[in-house]
Amino acid sequence: MKAGQARALPLPPGGYDVINRGISNGRVIGQVTTEDEFSGYVWDRDGRPRAVPRGDDVLDINRNGRIVGRTDDESWREFGVWQVTTLESTLSYTTGRGIEPQVSSDDGTIAGSSWSMNGGRPQPTVWRCR
């Protein structure tokens, strides 16, 4: 960082560890661990942490604040798409297909992989958000 300065971002109350997952346009996302759980958080441009509701494993954020990650669904087969801290939609496994969205693109698409539940190999997959 040329002539830059580091600024520590505060953990939310009860948080003691964080795994940073992404940064874009002044926002940072990460997994915060507390005594009894881990949850997704976004640090907005003001530097304050905000919980990502139902976001158990946030994975990526784009320049507009669209976040993709795994929800708190116990099956671990549901993924969410958030606009900063608002859950906009969910994507789930179907009877015959598994999914794993991982990247939130600046053009409004979500990229990851999907596979046939009958032993299919993972293949690149793109979901369009409208």
pLDDT tens-digit profile of 74-100? Answer: 999 999 999 999 999 999 999 999 999
Cα–Cα distance between 83 and 86 in angstroms, integer? 5
Domains of the chain, first to last: 17-128 (2.130.10.150)
**Residue 35 binned pLDDT confidence (cut-offs 50, 70, 90):** confident
In the block, residue with structure tokens 């596979």: 115
Cα–Cα distance between 91 and 101 in angstroms, integer? 9
Is 5 or 26 the better-scoring residue by pLDDT? 26
**Residue 16 binned pLDDT confidence (cut-offs 50, 70, 90):** very high
